[in-house]
Amino acid sequence: MKHHRRYQAVIGAALVLGFGAAQRSSADDGGYFSYRLAKGQRFSHLVASTDSIRGEGFAELVTRNSGSIVYTVLDPDPRQPVLDVSFRFDGGIEGDVKKRVRDSGRTLCEVSGYGDETGDTHGDGGEGGGCVTITDATSYLFLNSLLWGTPPAQLHMGTSWTVDIPQAWTLGPAGTQTVRVISLDPATRSITLLREGRGTGFSTKQGPDVTLMYAGTAVTARIVPGLSQWTGYATIREGVVVHDELMITRPVTLVTKDHGEIRAEERQYALLSETPPG
């Protein structure tokens, strides 16, 4: 069930439209974030993530997740677009769902039949249909304003803005982030952004305990998180994310019953890349 919820969160996050065309069309003079959807249009992404915890005396704990997602536009309405999402996560789940995007991209609703939503209740993990708020680390198809904020109307090389992230997300805790324009191409309406942030606490996918192999024996440890720091690039073309990457690291203290406190380091990263839809 835990893994199922993680996959569902990733699937839901694949639909995030953080800046919403209705909000950005007048301010986004360069058209970098103003998407132009058409019915039947298709997009495709490869996604991968890794989480590693290592420290002296125990075997490094590594978990990985990867897969592919194909999106087909069913309704290009910028206020509440509907997308068909076909996904496969290697060694995990695969399937096809329909999602309606609401609230400028922060809310995703399951659509059972075209125009009929299965629920209207906010949830925290995406299981069982209904509507959910997404807090995924990478932007997937469109940027997530929860993590990227709202950029200034006028953009140029070096433009920066600060984002206060009010809640935990899939790779990190609540914190503060700075976003800076690294490059832009007005001809193709492409822009590359750098994000750098920090915060302390747990992410949404982590619990307070972890099981490790210590000297060949499974040991349960309580995690005491240190300061998380993250950085990554994202490239957007006409509102569509074509590349997104993020690395986050933090020191952690593992408190065990029989081995005392163990100093360790955790690093997580997520990668996304656009591919031709097959």
State both tokens at 278. 């097959």
Helix/strand/coil for 250: strand
pLDDT for 114:
60
In the predicted model, is pLDDT for residue 120 greater than 90? no
| CA 86 vs CA 6, 109, 139: distances in Å | 17, 16, 17
In the predicted model, is pLDDT for residue 53 greater than 80? yes
274 or 6, higher pLDDT? 274
The pLDDT tens digits of the residues spanning 57-96 come to 899 999 999 999 999 999 988 778 888 999 999 999 999 9
**Which residue in 175, 173, 178, 194 sits closest to 243, CA to CA?**
194
pLDDT band of 239, cuts 50, 70, 90: confident
In the predicted model, is pLDDT for residue 4 greater than 80? no
Q: What is the spatial distance between Cα 212 and Cα 258, in angstroms, rounded to a whole number?
A: 13
pLDDT for 140:
63
The pLDDT tens digits of the residues spanning 190-201 come to 999 999 999 999
In the predicted model, is pLDDT for residue 46 greater than 80? yes
Q: Strand 116-117 and strand 107-113: pairing?
A: antiparallel
In the predicted model, is pLDDT for residue 225 greater than 50? yes
pLDDT for 104:
64
Residues ≥6 apart with Cβ < 8 Å to 7: 65, 89, 92, 93
In the predicted model, is pLDDT for residue 10 greater than 60? no
**What is the rounded average pLDDT for all residues in the chain?**
83
H helix runs in 187-235, sequence order: none
DSSP state of 104: G
pLDDT for 21:
38
